[in-house]
Amino acid sequence: MTKRIELKLKDKNGKTKTYVQTTITARKRLEFLDFDTAARKATYNMKQFYEEEVRLVANLFANKGVTEDMIWDGMNALTMDDELQVIINAVTGADSPNWNPVDPSVLETLETVSTD
């Protein structure tokens, strides 16, 4: 079974179009993980958070019809968080049954341990 990411957006006429992406580069995963790290450290205010989230999602799709403006204008604000989170989880691997994230505090501890 091929894993795929779907994004449903309404166009100017109110018609829903589904965009599908089946290939995501590993580099995109790193970009999303960097975003997650910055968001957890409260590097962004809410507006910046959403702008960066939408930018990352728009750049996942090879279809040039998926733009930041298309997402802003074609996505329902009431369901946006859940819909984007599904995409983020797919890209980062958080939706995998084998997902086993390391507690960030453990990483911080490891970064301060000297190997000398």
Please tell me what DSSP assigns to residue 14.
S
- Asked if 7 contacts 87 with a C-beta cutoff of 8 angstroms, the reply is yes
16: tokens are 């829903």
Backbone phi and psi for residue 109, each to the nearest 5 degrees, phi listed first = -65, -45
In whole angstroms, what is the distance from residue 109 CA to residue 58 CA?
34
Grade residue 104 by pLDDT with cuts at 50, 70 and 90: low
Please tell me what DSSP assigns to residue 13.
T
Q: Is the pLDDT of residue 108 over 70?
A: no
Q: How far is CA 66 from CA 45, 75, 87, 102, 115, in A?
A: 25, 12, 14, 33, 46
Q: Is the pLDDT of residue 58 over 60?
A: yes
Would the pTM count as exceeding 0.75?
A: yes
